[in-house]
Amino acid sequence: MNETTRIVIVGAGHAGGSAVALLRQYGWKGTITLIGDEPVPPYQRPPLSKAWLKGEASAESLALRPAKFYADNDVEMRLATTVAAIDRAGRTVTLADGEVLAYDHLILATGARARKLSIPGIDLAGVLELRSAADADKLKAALLPGTRVAIVGGGYIGLEAAASARALGAEVTIIEREARLLARVASTSLSAFFDAFHQEQGVAIELNADVAALEGEGGHVSAVRLADGRAIPCDVALIGVGAIANAELASAAGIDCAGGIRVDLSARTSDASIFAIGDCTHRPLHHYGREHRLESVPNALEQAKQVASALTGRKLPAHEVPWFWSDQYNLKLQIAGLSFDTAETVLRGDPSSNSFAVFHLAADGCLRSVEAVNAASEFMAGKMLIASRKPLARERLADMSVSMKDLL
Amino acid sequence: MPKITYIEHDGTEHPMEVPVGLTVMQGAVDNSVPGIDADCGGACACATCHVYVDPEWLGKTGTPNEQEASMLSFAAVTESNSRLSCQIEVTSELDGLIVRMPEGQH
Ligand SMILES: Cc1cc2nc3c(=O)[nH]c(=O)nc-3n(C[C@H](O)[C@H](O)[C@H](O)COP(=O)(O)OP(=O)(O)OC[C@H]3O[C@@H](n4cnc5c(N)ncnc54)[C@H](O)[C@@H]3O)c2cc1C
Ligand code: FES
């Protein structure tokens, strides 16, 4: 590495912004160019459905780093700029306006985008999604006391938006195609708990409900039409039906992809000069012996550390246990691990007290994942136990008189 | 503006002016003070913004709530003056506050 070695980063989000900071912190002396298609420097998305949406966090507090950080650290920022193509043989990227930039190392941090529904009415005004700050501005402007919001999709973003919308006095209906909320991402016990909690907070929930169309009046959405013929009247429809990795740039350049850009544990793609980090990757999971795509801030940070370490010749960081959090009403959900190959479920605490944890064990008694609601000790200890692979005694795990520290 | 002194594990001092209403964590991140990772951005979910509050200031920084206390009890090398800096809001009362950072946050 020398002062003329060039790193180009595509995507100025949580992963790209963190990689910049870590590269400089780890002593990268070469040039860094951070290219992002959004008009603003890297910011945090989690508050967009939570504290920020409720009006409890300022717009400035979303910034990943203060704006001057990039200039101070000699990072060239190209905002509102889209990368259109990668030329691997020539080691260049071409911008949408035709400009060509050369790289020695390329980092793809292109994130994911909200999945679109291809149904009639999807282009009506008042049909929103929630991925970017610009999306969030539109949603927030629409959420007034009494606004009727139909949320299509009962995943984390949908549930968090529902909780925030209730806090703002809006009327909320969640429409979910599956038989339960959080069907892809949580256990049945957790789904049942959140279903009951949202209903207590006045949210209407339609399960097994297929959306056939969005209907409008004067070009603005007025109802969600279900496949069974029923109409759910609304002033705003928020579509939150999952995210798709922005991997097209990589796959068009012939880089190995599998629903995300395939990387190793140093975040390197099938091209040794190209790395990929964050939501756009399909990555090995050290603790689970398989590959998967993750969508979380801790994942983006872990991979940013991997690439920064690889490029500055540092030892690779320790393997993290994947984790995630979600805030809804006064509930703090923290999840550690992934529920692969689980054989048994152990409940600790009483869901009716709004503080409990669901542990998922493999057949050998080792912890694979924990879902903790207002139960930070269970989450923190669970994260350690997943990494240590220590077999657990079910009775002790379920026994609240045994402290989590004693189970480590 | 309240002055807060952040002291790295190696003793390097970072005196900073931090606006009222931000958290002690944000004051560090906004000024690129190393030693506070703040992975979750202040959601009290990650425990990577751990600091030791100078004992003289403990009366003014308040005490951790249940979530914070549980998170702290599993962080590395906690002491009786340990806090998660994202849970300390900067007030004019905290002008002069001194916090020290642990050796690592992970
Ligand atoms: C509403 C919401 C709430 C969330 N809540 C949580 C939470 O509570 N906890 C948690 O862990 N995670 C949460 N997440 C997920 C988390 O925000 C993501 O995992 C994280 O942002 C991933 O970072 P990234 O850099 O990979 O992608 P992003 O942050 O999406 O950044 C990618 C950037 O690249 C840009 N880009 C893409 N293609 C190009 C191109 N060709 N040229 C230029 N730029 C390009 C994109 O526009 C974007 O700005 C939430 C996400 C959302 C949307
Ligand atoms: S920043 Fe995550 S707990 Fe303070």
Tokens of A401: 């008189």
Q: Measuring CA to CA, how many Å separate A153 from each of A129, A148, A240, A303, A368?
A: 11, 16, 5, 28, 26
The string of pLDDT tens digits covering residues A119-150 is 999 999 999 999 999 999 999 999 999 999 99
- Ligand 2, closest atom to CA B37? 1
Instruction: Give the model's confidence band at A3: pLDDT under 50 very low, under 70 low, under 90 confident, else very high.
Output: confident
Q: How many CB atoms lie within 10 A of CB A222?
A: 18
Tokens of A143: 């959420």
Amino acid at the residue B65: N
CATH number of A330-407: 3.30.390.30
Non-local (6+) Cβ contacts of A353 within 8 A are none
Residues A151 and A127 sit within 8 Å (Cβ to Cβ): no
Q: How far is the CA of A305 from the centre of ligand 2 (A)?
A: 18
| Nearest alpha-carbon partner for B99 in B48, B47, B38, B58 | B58
Q: What is the pLDDT of residue A225?
A: 98
Instruction: Give the model's confidence band at A2: pLDDT under 50 very low, under 70 low, under 90 confident, else very high.
Output: confident
Share of chain A above pLDDT 90, in %: 97
The string of pLDDT tens digits covering residues A175-227 is 999 999 999 999 999 999 999 999 999 999 999 999 999 999 999 999 999 99
Residue B36 in contact with ligand 2 by CB distance below 6 A: no
- Ligand 2, closest atom to CA B42? 1
CA distance A159 to A173: 10
The string of pLDDT tens digits covering residues A14-55 is 999 999 999 999 999 999 999 999 999 999 999 999 999 999
Classify residue B18: in a domain, yes or no: yes
Classify residue B72: in a domain, yes or no: yes
Dihedral of CA atoms A215, A217, A223, A229 in degrees, nearest 10, equals -50
Q: What is the pLDDT of residue B104?
A: 87
Instruction: Tell me, yes or no, if A61 comes closer than 8 A to chain B by beta carbon.
Output: yes
List the domain range (segments joined by +) for residue B74: 3-100
Q: What is the pLDDT of residue A1?
A: 60
Q: What is the mean pLDDT of chain A?
A: 97
Whether residue A116 has pLDDT greater than 90: yes
**Out of B22, B30, B39, whose CB is closest to A297?**
B39
Tokens of A44: 């945090």
Instruction: Tell me, yes or no, if B41 comes closer than 8 A to chain A by beta carbon.
Output: yes
How close does chain A come to B32, measured CA to CA in Å?
8
CA distance A169 to A147: 8
Tell me the ligand closest to A324's alpha carbon.
Answer: 1
> Residue B27 belongs to what H/E stretch?
helix B24-30
Residue A101 in contact with ligand 1 by CB distance below 6 A: no
Tell me whether strands A281-285 and A261-262 are parallel, antiparallel or unpaired: parallel
Residue of A nearest to B39 (CA): A298
| Nearest alpha-carbon partner for B26 in B38, B15, B9 | B38
- Mutation pick from A377, A385, A400 vs chain B, by most beta carbons of B within 10 Å, is A377
Q: Rounded mean pLDDT of A77-81?
A: 98
- Ligand 1, closest atom to CA A161? 1
Non-local (6+) Cβ contacts of A55 within 8 A are A140, A168
How close does chain B come to A263, measured CA to CA in Å?
22
Whether residue A72 has pLDDT greater than 80: yes
**Out of B34, B41, B45, whose CB is closest to A334?**
B45
Residue B33 in contact with ligand 2 by CB distance below 6 A: no
A140 Rama sector, left if φ>0, alpha if ψ -120 to 50, beta otherwise:
alpha
Whether residue A393 has pLDDT greater than 90: yes
Q: What is the pLDDT of residue B16?
A: 97
Chain B residue numbers with beta carbons less than 8 Å from the beta carbon of A326 are none
**CATH code, domain with B33:** 3.10.20.30
Whether residue B46 has pLDDT greater than 90: yes
Instruction: Give the model's confidence band at A159: pLDDT under 50 very low, under 70 low, under 90 confident, else very high.
Output: very high
**Out of B34, B40, B73, whose CB is closest to A325?**
B40
Q: Rounded mean pLDDT of A52-64?
A: 91
Residue A349 in contact with ligand 1 by CB distance below 6 A: no
Tokens of A342: 């689980």
Facing residues of A355 across strands? Answer: A350
Q: What is the pLDDT of residue B106?
A: 82
Angle at A114 between CA A110 and CA A120, to 5 degrees: 140
Q: Which fold has domain A127-241?
A: FAD/NAD(P)-binding domain (3.50.50)
Domains A127-241 and A330-407 share a fold: no
Tokens of A399: 């026994």
Q: How high is the ipTM of this complex?
A: 0.95
Q: Which CATH class is domain A6-113+244-312?
A: alpha beta
The string of pLDDT tens digits covering residues A324-379 is 999 999 999 999 999 999 999 999 999 999 999 999 999 999 999 999 999 999 99
The DSSP secondary-structure symbol of B89 reads B
- Mutation pick from A18, A61, A70, A327 vs chain B, by most beta carbons of B within 10 Å, is A61
Number of domains in chain B: 1
| Nearest alpha-carbon partner for A166 in A203, A192, A126 | A203
Q: Rounded mean pLDDT of A311-316?
A: 96
Classify residue B8: in a domain, yes or no: yes
CA distance A362 to A394: 11
Q: Rounded mean pLDDT of A67-78?
A: 95
The string of pLDDT tens digits covering residues A237-293 is 999 999 999 999 999 999 999 999 999 999 999 999 999 999 999 999 999 999 999
Q: How far is the CA of A40 from the centre of ligand 1 (A)?
A: 13
Per-domain boundaries in chain A: 6-113+244-312, 127-241, 330-407
Classify residue B49: in a domain, yes or no: yes
Q: What is the 3-state secondary structure (H, E, C) of chain A?
A: CCCCCEEEEECCCHHHHHHHHHHHHCCCCCEEEEECCCCCCCECCHHHHCCCCCCCCCCHHHECCCCHHHHHCCEEEECCCCEEEEECCCCEEEECCCCEEECCEEEECCCEEECCCCCCCCCCECEECCCCHHHHHHHHHHCCCCCEEEEECCCHHHHHHHHHHHHCCCEEEEECCCCCCCCCCCCHHHHHHHHHHHHHCCCEEECCCCEEEEEEECCEEEEEEECCCCEEECCEEEECCCEEECCHHHHHCCCCECCCEECCCCCECCCCCEEECHHHEEEEECCCCEEECCCCHHHHHHHHHHHHHHHHCCCCCCCCCCEEEEEECCEEEEEEECCCCCCEEEEEEEHHHCEEEEEEECCCCCEEEEEEECCHHHHHHHHHHHHHCCCCCHHHHHCCCCCHHHHC
CA distance A207 to A194: 13
CA distance A257 to B65: 45
Q: What is the mean pLDDT of chain B?
A: 95
Q: Are the beta carbons of A380 and B32 separated by less than 8 Å? A: no
CA distance A289 to A267: 16
Q: What is the pLDDT of residue A59?
A: 85
Q: Are the beta carbons of A297 and B106 separated by less than 8 Å? A: no
How close does chain A come to B30, measured CA to CA in Å?
5
Residues A311 and A32 sit within 8 Å (Cβ to Cβ): no
